[in-house]
Chain A
Amino acid sequence: MADAGGIVRSRTLGSRALTVLKYTLLTIGAIVMVAPFLDMFFGALRTVPERLARPPVYFPQTPQWDNFAQVFREMPMLQWGINSLITTLSVTVLQVTSSAMAGYALAKFEFFGRMTAFRFVLGAQMFPFFLFIIPMFFILRYFPLVGGNDIFGKGGMGLLNSYLAIILPFAVSWHGVFLMRQFMMAVPSELLDAARMDGAGEFRIFFTIVLPLVTPGLATLAIFVFVYQWNEVIWTMTVTRTAPNLQTVPVGIYLLRGAYVEEAKMSVQQAAIFLSILPVMIAFLFLQRFYVRGLTAGGVKG
């Protein structure tokens, strides 16, 4: 027969064992998460002889930091970086602006078709991106009156081979609109009415009262879009395959893979890959808390 003290003791012992188990598990998981990155990092620092040895030397004896500089000499990394920055920042600004405006209208105005519009925003999120790849490509191709096209969209390349081809399809996201609508719901309507009584115009109210109140929401969406767009590959590759001067960092690295099939050259490729992750990693470390909110908002309401 176990006395009360025995039960308590065994429970604390059990819970201590459980705690150890939990941290062991978390640690193993963490190693699995990080190890592949370290593998690439060591790879990026290897010398050519180290790579060619059989078996290859795993830990580089004299880290070749110059491999990172070599990336800029061998690949148009700077151009890719600029392209990535231009497209990513444009998409972020456009998406945050369009989402904030539409979200505000959906949350704070009564107008004809509001419910329909909101249902559409929810429903449109169900349409997978692969459905749009083919038609969107040709809509940009046959966009009238741009890129050498006539009014019927014939004759030129349309919006293809321009930054707009990468940016425009991501100018609005339905999830973004939904997210901002949720944030806008929390803005007190009394405040807006009071401002209207004082004679403030609608756009002034939006910019001076509403936007400052939802800054955390805007930041959440912005970091979300930034990470997503920096990492976007499929669409950007589809429209820039024939336009090397528009390729972004990940797309450029991928399309140039043919030049790095030789073992001797792989260190430079691995260094380039490391560089492609760096900007998001930095942005993410600083703005992590906003990212948490973005993932959990609009999720489950159990």
Chain B
Amino acid sequence: MRWLNTRTITPLLFMAPVLVFAIVFFFLPVGFSLYISFHKWDSLSPPEFYGFTNYVYLLSKDPQFYRTLVNTFVFAGGTIAIGIPLALVVAYSFSQSRFQTVWRSIYWLPMITNIVAVAFIWKFVLNDAYGMLNRGLALVGLPGPGWLTNPSLSMFSVIMVFVWMQLGHNMLLVSAGLQSIDDTYYEAARIDGAHSGNIFWDITLPLLKPTILFLLITNFITGISYFALMMVLTEGGPAGSTNVTSLYMYNMAFSDLRLGRASAAAYILFALIFIVTLIQLRLFRRGGVEAHN
């Protein structure tokens, strides 16, 4: 029993709570939900084996499912396309400004606000007739659209609210990246007579590439699996225009009690995220980023 000394037992004791958690709240759910995805189950009667029926149904017979997938990718893509350039510009201004604590507190306010508050605040702001935004637009003589009631505009509104929520977070990561750029590069460029525009495009941006890549990847993955805002702000509507796959899955499970099909939907979405992540990790490596050391 030589192995049973303090050197081997101690780390196990320290790991014990996490190990138990991993079994009960990681491996068990992951396995259970895979099992359920091959069954028909409404939680009231025992699960009935269904083979690949749930997967086949979602992928070939359910038009709703494709629609939610498109919405999911529009949302994830939209938040990146708008959010990251914005974060770059704001972080660039922020990193050279004074009173950083003040700016940071302001830009982080949305990030530390709970999603119910965010949704309700914006419901008032984006209200058709008397919301702050449309009243403001009316002051300058512009017609205010139905930000949340027009199905072709609602996804855009949700994306903008999400970008608003995440800006502080992204700005911080970019400004951390900016700070890690060695000052000597700038000094050398300045001695050589480069002006600020050149410095930004030729020095800052290339050296920031790892940070930008990191943001793209993490924001994209967050975007694909995200649904809290849609759930509380629009409930997937109007007319399903903001119904993303994870929200569709949630309602399928807890409103319709189609737990097998919902689990299959979760696994399909997870597989997509997994593939996207692998592709992006490859990009990561090519872009010279080491996410974790």
A residues at B contact (CB < 8 Å): 7, 11, 14-15, 18, 21-23, 25-26, 29-30, 32-37, 39-40, 43, 55-56, 58, 97-98, 101-102, 104-106, 109-112, 114, 117, 120, 122, 124, 126-136, 138-139, 168-169, 171-172, 177-178, 202, 206, 227, 230-231, 233-234, 238, 249-251, 253-254, 257, 266, 269-270, 273, 276-277, 280-281, 284-285, 288, 291-292, 295-296, 298-302
Classify the secondary structure of B's interface with A: helix
- Asked if A300 and B177 sit within 8 Å, CB to CB, the answer is yes
- Asked if A284 and B108 sit within 8 Å, CB to CB, the answer is yes
- Asked if A126 and B211 sit within 8 Å, CB to CB, the answer is no
A98 neighbours in B (Cβ, 8 Å) = 17-18, 21
B residues at A contact (CB < 8 Å): 6-8, 10-15, 17-18, 21-22, 24-26, 28-30, 32-33, 36, 43, 89-90, 92-94, 96-97, 101, 103-110, 112-117, 120-122, 124-125, 129-130, 132, 135, 164, 167-169, 172-173, 176-177, 180, 193, 195-196, 207, 210-211, 214, 221, 224-225, 227-228, 231-232, 246, 249-250, 253-254, 259, 262-263, 266-267, 269-270, 273-274, 277, 288-293
- Asked if B210 and A130 sit within 8 Å, CB to CB, the answer is no
Classify the secondary structure of A's interface with B: helix
- Asked if B32 and A23 sit within 8 Å, CB to CB, the answer is no
A102 touching B24 in the complex, CB below 8 Å, given contacts A133-B253, A134-B253, A299-B173: no
Q: Which of B36, B108, B117, B290 has the most CB of A within 10 A?
A: B117
B193 neighbours in A (Cβ, 8 Å) = 7
B115 neighbours in A (Cβ, 8 Å) = 231, 233, 250
What are 19 residue pairs bridging A and B, where the CB atoms are less than 8 Å apart in the complex?
Answer: A34-B109, A58-B135, A101-B18, A102-B18, A105-B12, A109-B7, A114-B11, A128-B225, A134-B33, A135-B33, A172-B18, A178-B292, A231-B113, A253-B120, A288-B108, A296-B172, A299-B214, A301-B289, A302-B177
Question: Which residue from B30, B96, B106, B249 sits with its C-beta under 8 Å from A135?
Answer: B30
How many residue pairs, one in A and one in B, have C-beta atoms under 8 Å apart?
Answer: 260
Q: Which residue in chain A gives the minimum CB-CB distance to B288?
A: A302
A7 neighbours in B (Cβ, 8 Å) = 193
